[in-house]
Amino acid sequence: MTHVLGIVDPNVQAIGRSMIVCCDTAETVEVYKLLRSQSLYALYAHADLPVAQVQATNVEWNLTHARNSAPVLVCSDEILDSMDVSNVEVIVHFSVAKNSSLFGARLWCARRKFLHPFLAEHPIKQGVVSHLLLSENDSSHASSLVRLLERCDVEIPRKLLAMRDRDLLQKEGSKQAQLCPHFKAFGRCSRQKWCRMRHCFYEALDGAQVPMETVRPPAEGEVKFFQFPVYVIF
């Protein structure tokens, strides 16, 4: 938890306006107390606060502050819609967002600071910086995060790749996971790196539910054959 201090403490490094986003109220209060215990100038907002207090936080955040004396805003995902925040320069994802919409809402708080792709002489030299804090408990998110970073064309940390690989191994070994329909139909899954289903066959789970020796072809009726194209990849 104290990792967050090294990111947002203006005494450690010169940074712009920082926002720490948490998943719920309890986490928000905990992080806020940690910052205050270090005498950092911090504001907070979560869904259990009165509307007037959230509005007061909005006003204080949007006052003009010197670069190294701006407050650190700590807030939860569910209050972001009610916040008037658009100028964040450093986003700290204290916990992983529960879905992609919430993740997008976090980034939306920095919309005035994004570099314009078509204006080469944009006055802002540095874009928005995002910090994702992950623990071993977040391994189930590793695949999605790797995919996101691949699309952003940025370097992927080795530790995150290792976490993704461990999660995949664990998932493949889990008999609770459902057998992937692509693997079942075609013997392979083109999205295996991200697919959340199982890609190994367990006789007891996936085999025939009735003994094969008791299966007899019907004495009469219509038999249909389907021909599928077969691709051989070397």
Q: Which residues bind Zn ion (CB under 5 A)?
A: 180, 182, 189, 195, 197
Residue of 132, 128, 72 lying closest to 103 (CA atoms): 132
- Judged by CB, which is closer to Zn ion: 38, or 178? 178
Q: How far is the CB of 192 from Zn ion (least distance, A)?
A: 5
Note whether 172 and 198 are within 8 A (CB): yes
| Least gap, CB of 96 to Zn ion (angstroms) | 22
Smallest distance, Zn ion to C-beta of residue 179, A: 9
Q: Which is nearer to Zn ion, 42 or 180 (CB)?
A: 180
Nearer to Zn ion, 74 or 189 (CB): 189
Write out the E strands in the chain: 18-22, 42-45, 72-76, 90-93, 129-132
**Is 132 or 189 the residue whose CB approaches Zn ion more closely?**
189
Taking each helix axis from N to C terminus, what angle separates 142-152 and 158-173, rounded to the nearest 10 degrees? 140
**Residues whose CB is less than 8 angstroms from the CB of residue 65 and which lie 6 or more positions away in sequence, other chains included:** 17, 71
Residue with tokens 């090294």: 6
Compute the least distance from the CB of residue 146 to Zn ion, in Å. Answer: 16
Nearer to Zn ion by Cβ, of 12 and 169: the residue is 169
Radius of gyration for the alpha carbons in the chain, expressed in angstroms and rounded: 25
CB of 47 to Zn ion, least distance (A): 37
